[in-house]
Amino acid sequence: MWAGGFPPYVADARGARLTDIDGCDYVDLCLADTGAMTGHGPPVVLAAVREQCERGMTTMLPTEDSVLVAEELARRFGLSRWLFTLSATDANRSALRIARQVTGRSKVLVFSYCYHGSVDEAFAVRDPDGGTVARAGNVGPPVDPALTTVVAEFNDGRSPACSPSRP
């Protein structure tokens, strides 16, 4: 949900600043997921992306760089296995599958109107009676989100309908 009638349309983003199509400037306090890693369009990142694009971008096969990155992540964080994803949706879908495998639980908890990628079961909101319903715009979810998801309002102090003893 966006505060107000509509979101600003971005014309330009650099560093931690945005300019909308009306010429208004903003400090980007969210930095739109990936922008949070480096800011918007820093020259060193643009140069690295340009260099990689010249060698190929979508081979969907391992590269020497993927081995180097995996080794560095293992060194830094002490985990020997890594799963690389390309979007919030892919990352959340993988996290949900792994969590279900590890916990044996079928339901997940999400907050109303928080963005968790476009995974159907995370594209759910809490209705006025405390139940789970598909978020407006989630056209034709393959499974009723109420079967897989419990929704809570962020920071409202109420317990969700699913307790730790219930799947």
The catalytic residue among 9, 26, 113, 115 is 115
* H helix runs in the chain, sequence order: 35-38, 43-55, 64-77, 88-103
Residue pair 40/19 in contact (Cβ under 8 Å)? The answer is no
Residue 115 catalytic? yes
Instruction: Indicate the SS3 state at residue 131.
Output: coil
Give the long-range contacts of residues 123-129, CB within 8 A, separation 24 or more. 124/149, 124/151, 125/151, 126/151, 126/152, 126/153
Distance in angstroms (rounded) separating the CA atoms of residues 34 and 37 = 6
- Cβ-in-10-Å burial (0-12, 13-18, 19+) of 125 comes to buried
Distance in angstroms (rounded) separating the CA atoms of residues 84 and 87 = 9
Residues with a catalytic annotation lie at: 115
